[in-house]
Chain A
């Protein structure tokens, strides 16, 4: 028997937890887009990226669908193989070289063919080190 609907979509979107999950999903999706577009730019299949990043195609697929919470180590391997930069606080992780910098403004041109997924001022990349170190390689909610 179909259960009785007690709240429509508008009401659901007003739920206090909605905003929180929306922000999480938004960040995951931004990350997913940067990774999948850069992979396509490099001309690699998900399988090829998986091999280079020492993971499986299924994990790459989940990341590119924004369907998983990526751990720090795997994220670093993926971005490194894809020549993508990412930044936490003042530490920039790029091409296997970790540097500390005050430069926060980045653009695609700053890194040749790379496409940074953490943009200055964007909440999409603001992940705390605590969150990252505590997370597993890929945790599916």
Chain B
């Protein structure tokens, strides 16, 4: 399967923007930070590749269905980095990366509601991306590994 990023008409690709913001090197990053970012990027790349090579469902524990949504999530974790990439297989040809977010590994009980709401909001927003892609399936950017 070809891996692509869903892209809006204005050129914004949410999944790509997230990965860039999370894993690109930034000014002031020390060696350890750069190594951690590289490790996490490699893990995300491998999880995405795993899904693309297996018909849209990653082997192992790396993909999960989302009840009530037409897309699924890929789970990439490395250390305290817990990333979810929302995606769906399009016509068995393309693996469309819609958006991504990070899920806190550890949090206070009181924060749970807030986190759950944030995740729900992300899913709802991603549903709009999904519908937008279906109406404009040529709006995408190829994922380059």
Contacts and interface: CB of A to CB of B under 8 A. Distances in A.
Given A5-B20, A65-B75, A25 B25 contact: no
A18 B39 CA distance: 7
Interface in B121-137: none
Nearest to B37: A12
Q: Is the interface of A mostly helix, strand, loop or mixed?
A: helix
B28 interface: yes
Interface in B52-66: 59-62
Interface residues of A, number: 29
B38 A9 contact: no
A67 B78 contact: yes
A67 B39 CA distance: 11
Nearest to B144: A10
B25 to A, nearest CB: 4
Interface residues on B, range: 20 to 34
A6 B25 contact: yes
Contacts of B77: 65, 67
Given A65-B77, A141-B79, A32 B24 contact: no
Contacts of A33: 50, 59-60
Contacts of B21: 5
Given A29-B46, A65-B75, A67-B79, A9 B39 contact: no
B38 A140 contact: no
B26 A17 contact: no
B127 to A, nearest CB: 26
Contacts of A7: 24-25
B1 interface: no
A22 B46 contact: yes
Contacts of B26: 3-6
Interface of A: 3-13, 15, 17-18, 21-22, 25-26, 29, 32-33, 36-37, 64-67, 140-141
Interface of B: 16, 19-21, 23-29, 34-35, 37-39, 41-43, 45-47, 50, 59-62, 75, 77-79, 144-145
